[in-house]
Amino acid sequence: MASTTSELTIDRAKLEGSIASAKKSLLDFQQSDGHWVFELEADATIPAEYVLMRHFLAEPVDAELEAKIANYLRRIQGAHGGWPLVHDGPFDMSATVKAYFALKMIGDDIDAPHMKRAREAALERGGAINANVFTRFLLSMFGVTTWRSVPVLPVEIMHLPAWFPFHLNKMSYWARTTVVTLIVLAAKKARAKNPKGVGIDELFLQDPRTIGTLARAPHQNRGWFAFFTAIDKLLRAAEPYFPKKFRQSAIDKAVAFFEERLNGEDGIGAIFPPMANAVMVYDVLGYPEDYPPRAVQRRGIDKLLVIHEHEAYCQPCVSPVWDTALTAHAMLETGGEDTFAQAKRGLDWLVPRQELEVKGDWADKRPDLRPGGWAFQYNNAHYPDLDDTAVVMMAMDRARRQTGTKDYDQAIDRGKEWILGMQSSDGGFAAFDVDNHYHYLNNIPFSDHGALLDPPTEDVTARCVSMLAQLGDTVESSKPLADAVAYLRRTQLAEGSWYGRWGLNYIYGTWSVLCALNMAGVNHQDPAMRKAVAWLYSIQNEDGGWGEDAVSYRLDYKGFEGAPSTASQSAWALLALMAAGEADNPAVERGMRYLMATQNEKGLWDEARYTATGFPRVFYLRYHGYSKFFPLWALARFRNLQSTNSRTVGVGM
């Protein structure tokens, strides 16, 4: 490790210029009402599913839009011939099947070079039989495979009591909203209109209509999987004999469930998969296109489109609350009256978006708790999340510290009350739920993705610790805070890092936790802090930055998986090190030099790699804002710490 102190050799004028340039460009992205929202890009599956949804519904072909989506899909095809889940990532069968299907539906010739390469790549890897369960449901609806290829999801689960081992409330919010729409499609054995009659039999090594249910996924326990597979067989045999009235009442209950959570044009769960499913459910049930809930959902889906001059894609959701809160933090760190005024405009925009009335699905475990959280999207009242809530509150607290304003006191108090009420029994905090520990559910045949649950995680717990400590709680005075810090100590890995559930991966988790431990008053010489600091130095790239690959999430964990440096991951590492008292370390200065050297002519950073996580190993995200506000935040913090006698970070992030 480098020596722990050094004279600052970065030219201060250049540092100030770098900060000013980034700040100016970031302010240019601010919306007229004060908030920020940046593009949120996933992989090929979402734009492909958008195209296929339109053909499921037999909507009029929008040739210009389809051509732009096709351009996007062709551009992100991997060198291996298929489509990856992340930039430059390995071949993924499900992404490849959906992208190929969408391109063929749009009109690409199957003998075109890019289609031939994709087909050969899929067949070399066993063919589309190896696609995941969601892809199989899609293929069943298009008649490529039969309903025997997917697990039985009886809609009658809507009638199960809450104590039953398999209940909607035992799933995560994203699974709950997706399943409640998918089970109606499965009950009706939905069939796509598919006016062009397009299929993809050529992606299989066998007749796709002979394919049975899925094989056991690597994360699934043999015994549990065998047990649930036996149940699946029993349900398959019994399903034709379920009483029709009982089935219809279950369908009615499912529709009522998701209609209560439609959120206007923001959609059920405010995420693409259940929104698309809901529109298809309305179609299958015979509701006309102008039926208001169907029409509103359909408009909401088109609001997820990002359309550029030559390309277009569909986002999985939008992230205005997250983007606004994090950008506000970067602005507050940057300083200056004008910058503060713009940050405050963003915070003022956030105030009315706090949910104070609706008791969402989280209230199943906490029925007496008052609402008080923020959701990730514009509107998602039933599903606020703790991560957004904590980040918003810390930004508001920073603003009131600076000016003494009382504007945010009530919002902060209600947010804190809600987060404290959402602590799980192990001391940790999850994103949306409490004590969502039903790990046996990840062994059902439907859960080949292993993402059915929302248990506590290190990164969300760290964010809640940071917030509580920033608001003045201490380990000595607050049992919830003490329990959460103990959770973080227990979950540190042997090499010194922490897992990052919602950002990629150990760099993100370690940044989150070091900020939290610092704010909670843990001594910088504490062994946990020292171990984490040493680990961060050990993985710094030669160029001074940090990078991590998505393969870090592999089930057979082998430790950190390095990758080319990115601006956002470098910023996380630098913010983590500064929180641990390392502002004077030469390695930190090297990191700052990396950020300054890679800044583009607009004052921002180019970042093609994906650095965020939807579901580990299954679904990743590229927040277009991450490479804009995180590097500015790190540079401004470095400048601020170097400008004072103290090297201690006094805020939670």
Question: Could you tell me the sign of the dihedral formed by the alpha carbons of 412, 428, 387, 635, in that order?
Answer: positive
Options 387, 397, 459, 483, the catalytic residue: 387
The b-or-e profile of 43-74 (16+ CB within 10 A means b, else e) is bbbbbbbbbbbbbbbeeeeeeebbebbbebbb
CA distance 636 to 171: 41
Is the Cβ–Cβ distance between 616 and 449 less than 8 Å?
no
Q: Looking up tokens 């969601």, which residue turns up?
A: 134
| 204/215 Cα distance (integer angstroms) | 16
Nearest to 264 by CA among 388, 382, 380: 380
Question: What secondary structure, in 3-state letters, does 575-637 show?
Answer: HHHHHCCCCCCHHHHHHHHHHHHCECCCCCECCCCCCEEEECCCEEEEECCHHHHHHHHHHHH
Q: Say if residues 522 and 583 touch (Cβ distance below 8 Å).
A: no
Question: Which residue in 376, 373, 324 sits closest to 345, CA to CA?
Answer: 324
Structure tokens at 645: 């006698």
DSSP per residue over 17-65, as a string? HHHHHHHHHHHHT--TTS-----EE--THHHHHHHHHHHHTTPPP-HHH
Contacts of 563 (CB under 8 A, 6+ apart): 547, 548, 549, 609
Annotated catalytic, 435? Answer: no
3-state secondary structure 194-234: CCCCCCCHHHCCCCHHHCCCCCCCCCCCHHHHHHHHHHHHH
Task: Give the largest CA-CA distance in the chain.
Answer: 79
Q: Which pair of tokens denotes residue 370?
A: 């008052």
Amino acid at 300: G
Any idea of the CA torsion for 405, 406, 410, 411, to the nearest 10 degrees? Answer: -10
Give catalytic residues, as residue numbers. Answer: 387
